[in-house]
Amino acid sequence: SFDERLSSQATTMRQPPSFEAYREFDQGLELYLRSIGLDRNAIRHFHRAFAADTSFVTPLIYASLIHNNLLEWEQSDSLVGIMERYRARLSDYDRHWLDYLQARVKGENAEALRAIRRAAELAPGSKAALNQAYLAGINNRPREAVDALLTLDPDRGPMRGYSWYFYALVMNYLALGEHENALDAARRFRATYGDEPEILAFEALALAGLGHHAQVNILLDEVAALPEDGMELGVWITSVAAFQRNRGDIEAAQNTIDRAIRWLEGRLPETKSTADWRLDYAWSLYVADRCDEAHDVARRLSQEFPQNVDYRGLVGLVAACLGDRDEAIEMSQWLESLGTPYLM
């Protein structure tokens, strides 16, 4: 009840967990929040918490969420199966979370939104509101996403230290065309979490929405000057260019995408030989409307990795850009024919 990360949902619990279980959960939750739900080490603590008190199912919910975030759907589904065996013991709040997770592993995003919405209604101010916002965005409901996020305080409770809150707020304001609000959220994001590439890129996106392209260029200079970390810098610069192009700011978009391509082409040879670099490079060429070059890169990738959905999907996208209707339909039909589980 006195843990601000859990107090909003504490009243929904049937009974408190044992102290040993809570202590393990506390350690896992700290790792979870610090890594925005991506730290595998947190999973170990969550499993220990559940082992210490099997009436306390919340740790398995968080472990399953980490597997979701890492796109490890089979592992998430396995935990869902364990939780299902304890359904009768769960609070209504946790049952809605279980329904949410079941829908997610099946790719049923509309049902997932309905389930997590019910959890958020039961525990206002809980983490359920964040996942409601995430699924609302996926279901093309940005107003609901923003409304859910505004029920949360980013500086305390379950959002303290959880940077994804601002990511979601900026992106959904942009989807609504509320660029002033997006810029305000992006600047709060930067003030709280510092000069990371994606944080600067979110501010650039908001400025681009307002047509302030000179300020966009200043920010992109800052992005390009940051220490290199994989291909993230090139990806974020390309994202800004794509946004400008979609708004019809063609000249600004061309300047930005040229910058992204130069950055990608300036990587070391060992980086440029990787599949990840080639995928990002093909996408940048596509945004630059250099679709013939993008097609060559994407086609080679799909030939090397014929079962990769991303690569073959990109081939279809670029084929459509080139006016090759037959190849675009071929890729679309191949994607539609896939029947393997856990396809999101």
Name the residue type at position 116: I
Q: Tell me the C-alpha to C-alpha distance, in Å, between residue 52 and each of 20, 32, 47, 79, 253.
A: 7, 19, 9, 16, 55
pTM of the model: 0.87
pLDDT surpassing 70 at residue 98: yes
Predicted confidence band of residue 73 (pLDDT cuts 50, 70, 90) = very high
Average pLDDT over residues 113-123: 95
**pLDDT, mean over the chain:** 91
Q: Where are the alpha helices (DSSP H) in 194-290?
A: 197-209, 213-225, 232-246, 250-265, 269-272, 275-287
pLDDT score of 102: 96
DSSP state of 268: -
Instruction: Give the mean model confidence (pLDDT) for residues 12-38.
Output: 86
Please tell me which of 32-36, 152-156, 169-173 the model is most confident about, judged by mean pLDDT: 169-173
Instruction: Look at residue 55 in the predicted model and tell me its pLDDT.
Output: 86
- Cβ–Cβ under 8 Å, residues 248 and 208: no
pLDDT confidence bin for 326, thresholds 50/70/90: very high
Would you state the pLDDT for residue 158?
A: 79
Q: How open is the CA angle 47-53-54, to the nearest 5 degrees? A: 80
How far separated are the first and last CA of the chain, in Å rounded? Answer: 36
With a pLDDT cut of 90, the percent of the chain lying above it is 74
pLDDT at 10 over 80: no
Closest residue by Cα to residue 251 from 214, 293, 223, 225: 214
Nearest to 128, CA basis, from 12, 38, 234: 12
- 34 pLDDT band, cuts 50/70/90, is confident
